Structure formats: structure tokens, C-alpha cells
A = this chain, B = another copy of it.
Amino acid sequence: MKFTCTQGALARALNTVSKAVSIRTTIPILKGFLLSVKNGELTLTASDLDLAIETKMEVQSYEEGSVVVSAKLFSEIIRRLPNAIIQISEENGKMEISCLGSQFSIVSMPADEFPSIGMVNRLSKIEIKKDVLKDLIRKTTFAASIDEKKGILVGCLLQFKDGLLEMAALDGFRLAVASSPVDTQEEKSVVIPARILAEIQKILMENSEEETVSLVLDDKKAEIITKDTRIVARLLEGEFIKYRDILPTSCKTRCVVGREEMISGIERASLLAKEGKNNLIRMAVAPGGIEITSRSEEGNSKESISAEVEGDGLTIGFNSKYVSDVLKAVGDDEIVMEMNTPVSPCLMKPVEGDSYVYLVLPVRISAN
């Protein structure tokens, strides 16, 4: 293998694929990048078995070939080289990298030991606006469980139905459901680990050239294809929780609050929300506003938040993180909170439309 390219282009491509490099793996080859030169193109691949990323770039190719090198070392070397032409060649387990006055010789591994990224059955390919996908990921993945023991709850449902893509995530304490029209009549449901969707979102944010990406789904894998990059994610097996039934259809108390005001009020109240381990804040809803209170051994706090309140007043307790997470994920200026009793779930959503709902369980509070 032998090729030349610019440092800048190679560093950008490495940045994309590095998101799939396994950090804690015990399999040495997964700590590496696969470099493959063919037809004047360099293909870079990284995989942690759950997620594989492959990106292509044009290079000046002198000799085709494939090899695996340490992802960490190779990235660090390329990142620190000046933005000039880099010459890379590989022979007999050694890769030579040279650029102006710098020369490196690093150990390489055979390419055939690298796991195949796998082909996804491309019978049905869905075109989707990148901004739509990013938006749905941002509004849902944070509600998934981060506890790997929770099975399907670490995943996020993607459901194509009736010309809509609906995404949903829940961790047993809260549920986020977001949907958006998409240009397909396909009906299909898959569950992708939320962790992987978060990585995909980062890649989509960094590669801003195209407006749409292609999504290909089969029974085992989801593939996202952009101009230069394809991302293959392993699907989670098993059935996703039926969440439609738990969404309340009526409410006794409805408040409209300013999102920014609520975020800063909750942030301040959280400073003293150490009662138990729930980051407990109390919200007393009354005509004209919400009073958020918290207390700890160090003291107590009270925040008066202006709100349009309809219906009954009530006092309800929340884990402050579960409320502020959603406020940070949505972009709207105002948010609706719909409640029934201090022990039934609270629904949060934008003032307009039904493209997003968030449900959060309250924390039971004592009477005082």
C-alpha cells in the first residue's frame, strides 16, 4: 500500500471514523483503523462490533492494499503533522508515514483480521433530511436508560408508519416521543442503541455538506449513508415497550412556562436538592405561577416562576434532572406542563402541535 494525501483531509476523515473505535475492548484489532486503498480512494474503517463507520476520501494512489494500524497512535501522529502532503506506505508489518521533516515507522496488523462492516440488505432505502434525523435524536435519546442491564431500554425506537418517522425512548422514569413527516410509505420498526444514535448525531453535525442521508434497515442492522460515509449500527433485539397506552389523554392542571426561566430556576433549586438521592424539587402550582422549592442540610431555596396556569393547583415533586433534561433538548420558547395528581405522570410538550411529548414520573413527596 502506498499513497499520498493532504494532512487536513486525512485528519477530518479520521475524526469521523474514530467515533467507532473501541476504547475498552480486549480485542487488539478493534483498537485499530482499517486503511484500504483502491481505485484512487482511501477507505477508513473503525468498528466496535455494535457500530461500524466507514469513510472514503480521494488520495493519490501508488500501490493498492489494506492494513490495520493503532487508531490512537495513527490519529495522534496525523493530527500533529503540519497541513502538508503526507506520504504513507506499508510493507511487511510496518507503516511508514512521512511529511516534510517528519518520518514515522509504526507497527501494522494484517487487514484480513479486521471484522467485516457487513452488508445491509438495501432493498428499501429511505431518504431522510439530516436536520430531521438530528432533531429527533436530540429530543429522544437522552430519555433512554444508560444501564446496559436494562435490555431494550438502552435503545431508541424508530418507527416508520403512515408517512411519519416516530422515535421514542424511555428508562422507566420518563418517556420521550418525537415524530416528523418523512418521504416514505414504508412501515418498519427498529430499535437502535441510544448511545450509537448519539454518536451518529455527532457525525451528522460534523459533515454538513449534504441535506439528506439515506437510511437502510434490515432485520439485524441499520445503515446510514452520506456522500462519503456509511455508518452501520447493530439493532437491539426484542420488542419495544408499548408506550402509547401510558400517555394520559386528559389533565386537571395545565401550565405554560418560559423554557429559559424554568431551566435557570431548576438549576438554582438543584443546588439544594439533595434530599434523598433524587435531586428532589417540589413544584407548587397555583394561579399565576409555579413556586419551585428544594432543601438540603445546607439550606433551602424558593424560585418563583411565572406561568399561565389553568385548572386545579397542586404540589408535585420531581427529580430535577428529568425536568431540565427535556427543557434543554427542545428549542421552543414556551413549554406546556400537564398534570393530574401528585402521583401521576406529568406530560410536557411544546405549545403548538403534537410532534413531541415527554412524560415524567413524579417523585412521591411528604405532605409538608
A interface list, Cβ under 8 A from B: 70, 73, 76-77, 80-82, 94-95, 101-107, 264-265, 267-268, 271-272, 297-306
Contacts and interface: CB of A to CB of B under 8 A. Distances in A.
A176 to B, nearest CB: 26
Contact of A265 (B70, B101, B271, B303): B101
A175 B101 CA distance: 30
Given A80-B268, A264-B80, A271-B80, A104 B299 contact: yes
Contacts of A301: 102-105
Contacts of A80: 264, 267-268, 271
Given A77-B271, A271-B73, A271-B77, A300 B105 contact: yes
Contacts of A265: 101-102
Contacts of A94: 299
A283 to B, nearest CB: 14
Task: List 7 tightest A-B contacts by C-beta distance, closest first.
Answer: A106-B299, A101-B304, A103-B302, A104-B301, A80-B268, A105-B299, A76-B271
A272 to B, nearest CB: 7
16 contacts: A80-B268, A81-B268, A95-B299, A101-B265, A101-B306, A102-B268, A102-B301, A102-B303, A102-B304, A103-B301, A103-B302, A104-B272, A104-B299, A105-B300, A106-B272, A107-B298
A143 to B, nearest CB: 25
Contacts of A76: 271
A94 B303 CA distance: 18
Nearest to A261: B101
Nearest to A268: B80
Contacts of A299: 73, 94-95, 104-107
Contacts of A302: 102-104
A308 to B, nearest CB: 16
Contacts of A73: 271-272, 298-299
A304 B98 CA distance: 11
A18 to B, nearest CB: 16
Contacts of A107: 297-299
Contacts of A106: 272, 298-299
A95 B81 CA distance: 56
